[in-house]
Structure 1
Amino acid sequence: MDFLRPDRWEDALAAKAEHPTAVPLAGGTDVMVEINFDHRRPSHLLDLTRIGDLYAWEADGPDVRLGAAVPYARVIAELSGPLPGLALAARTVGSPQIRNRGSVGGNLGAASPAGDSHPALLAAGAVVEAESVRGTRLVPIDDFYTGVKRNALAPDELIRAVRVRKAAGPQQFAKVGTRNAMVIAVCAFGLALHPDTRTVRTGIGSAAPTPVRARAAEDFLAAALGEARCWDTGRPVPAAVAEEFAALASAACNPIDDVRGSAAYRRRAVGVMARRTLGWAWREYTDGTTGERGELCA
């Protein structure tokens, strides 16, 4: 195994073009586990830790441009205001040591359906900034996941940043795990209210071959809130609307049975999380109180 360690982004792109099978390494929280257990033995490792731009973020316009290697700990500490859903998801990632090393860019590169950042990125409507020696390509998050642990990156591309629109309304995240910390999600759910466009977006993790949105649930809820004039008046979401939203979210799943949970349990849990996150987000929208946030359920 050859170890490549460029000092500049341009050199990293050149190395990736020359060695398309090279595996990028920054935090190493996924890659090193696979190597240590001999699940992966790449011909080249491409160490990106010397490229400082990957560890920076900026928020001058409507989006936050998050460098691919910005660790979860900094998302929590520095971006809970503009990116509340992603910050809530980051709080559930591994241990403090993992949150200090792991990053959203690494999560995207691994493309595991159980990755904690994916539901929040889907709900927020993120865009992945992929780059190669051929140029820069912007990939909407809805098009990024192509299969189990597969993504839309070309062999010579690297993730440089993730562009996430600043929250225009409440965002929530919930995760079910087999214990209360340091756990891979049995399933997870992200929700974002977008009052400026009177729309709703969701994200579901670990309940289908890829992270997915519950599009029918989103459309139903946005229409129901409009018909009941809830957006305008702040009146409570009717119970029947919340129940139907939960049922449609559950129906969006295509889970499997595995050691962490059954398919039936995952469908049920996603429905429960959808109803709970809607309640938390709507309470924040109507009276500004956050109540419970970012629940991790054992």
Structure 2
Amino acid sequence: MDFLRPASWEEALAAKAEHPSAVPIAGGTDVMVEINFDHRRPDYLLDLTRIGDLYEWEAGAEQVRLGAAVPYTQIMEHLRGELPGLALAAHTVGSPQIRNRGSVGGNLGAASPAGDCHPALLAAGAEVEAQSVRGTRLIPVDDFFTGVKRNALAPDELIRAVRIVKAAGPQQFSKVGTRNAMVIAVCAFGLALHPTERTVKTGIGSAAPTPVRAKVAEDFLTAALDEGGFWDSGKVITPSIARQFAELASGACNPIDDVRGTAAYRRHAVAVMARRTLGWAWESYRATADSTKGGAPRCA
């Protein structure tokens, strides 16, 4: 195994173009586990730890550009307001040591169906900034996952950053596991309210071959909230709407039986998490009504 250590991003792209099979490594929280257990033996490791801008982020007016190697700890500490769903998901990743090393870019590169950040990215509406010596392209996160531990990157491409729309409303994340962290999710669910657009987006992890959105559930809830005047009134969502949303979210799953849980349990758990995250997010949205004179919730 050869170890490549570029000093700049341009050198990294050149190395990846010359050695398309090279496996990038920054935090190493996934790659080193596979190597240590001899599950993977790449010909080349491409060390990206000397490329400083991968560890930087920029919060603009509408979105956050998150460097591929920004650790989860930094998201939790500095971007909780802009990316609340992702910050909640980051809290459930591994141990403090793993959160200090692991990153969203690494999680995306691994493309595990159980990646903790994926549901939050799907719900928020993220884009993956992929780059090679041929240029840059933006891949919607909906299109990024192509199979179990497979993604849409070309052989000569590296993830440089992730672009995530800043939260305009409440976001939630829930994960089922034997512990809150230091465990692979049995299943996970992310939800984001987008009051400006008056839409709802979701993300489901570890309940299908790839992370997925519950688009039928989203369409149902978006229509129900609009037709019922919920956005303007801020009234409580009826149990029947919440129940239907949960059932449709469960229907978006295509899980398997494995050592962590059965397919039936995963479907049930996703329905429970969908209902609960909707309740938490909507209560947060309704709370803004109490802080406005007109009584109608404000859209950020």
TM-score (norm. length: structure 2): 0.96
1:90 aligns with 2:94: no
Amino acid at match of 2:215: R
Deviation at 1:51, TM superposition (A): 0.1
How much has 1:181 moved relative to structure 2? 2.8
Q: Which moved more, 1:55-64 or 1:20-29?
A: 55-64
Aligned equivalents of 1:263, 1:178: Cα separation in 2: 17
For structure 1, the residue ranges without an aligned partner over 5 or more in a row are: 290-298
Counterpart of 1:256 in structure 2 is 256
Rounded Cα–Cα distance in structure 2 between residues aligned with 1:229 and 1:238: 12
The alignment partner of 1:3 has SS state of strand
**Quick check: 1:187–1:207 contact (8 Å CA) kept in 2?**
yes
Q: Any runs of at least 4 consecutive aligned residues in structure 1 with deviations exceeding 3 A, and if so which?
A: none
Partner of 2:21: 21
In structure 1, distance between residues paired with 2:162 and 2:251: 29
Alpha-carbon distance in structure 2 between the residues aligned to 1:286 and 1:73: 30
Q: 1:161-205: per-residue Cα shift (whole Å, max 9, x none)? A: 000000010000000002333100000000000000110000000
1:1-298 correspondence runs (5 A): 1-288=1-288
Q: Displacement, 1:288?
A: 4.2
Secondary structure of residue in 2 paired with 1:258? coil
The one-character-per-residue Cα deviations of 1:3-37 (angstroms, maximum 9, x if unpaired) are 00001000000000000000000000000000000
SS class of match (1:116) = coil
Q: Is contact 2:92-2:180 (8 Å) kept?
A: no
| Matched residue SS, 1:136 | strand
SS of residue in 1 equivalent to 2:275: helix
Matched residue of 1:203: which SS?
A: strand
Q: 1:37-59 deviations in whole A, cap 9, x for unaligned? A: 00000000000000000000001
Amino acid at match of 1:65: R
Deviations 1:104-156 (A, max 9, x none): 00000000000000000000010000000000010001100000000000000
Cα gap change, 1:89/1:180 in structure 2, threshold over 3 Å: closer, same or farther? closer
Q: Which whole-Å deviations, capped at 9, do the CAs of 1:46-92 have from their partners, x for residues lacking one? A: 00000000000001231100000000000000000000000000000
Rounded to whole Å, the distance in 1 between the matches of 2:149 and 2:35 is 16
Q: RMSD of aligned C-alpha atoms?
A: 0.8
Q: Which runs of 5+ in 2 are unaligned?
A: 290-300
The residue type equivalent to 1:140 in the other structure is P
CA contact (8 A) 2:64 2:165 kept: yes
Instruction: Report if aligned partners of 1:178, 1:260 keep a CA contact under 8 Å in 2.
Output: no
TM-score by length of structure 1 reads 0.96
Partner-residue secondary structure (3-state), 2:268: helix
Q: How many residues matched?
A: 289
Deviation at 1:284, TM superposition (A): 0.3
Aligned to 2:296: none
> Deviations along 1:195-241, whole A, 9 cap, x unmatched?
00110000000000000000000000010011110000000001100
Q: What is the aligned-residue identity percentage? A: 79
Aligned twin of 1:292: none
State the alpha-carbon separation in 2 of the partners of residues 59 and 179 from structure 1: 32
* Counterpart for residue 295 of structure 2: none
Partners of 1:288 and 1:31 lie apart in 2 by 43
Letter in 2 for 1:49: T
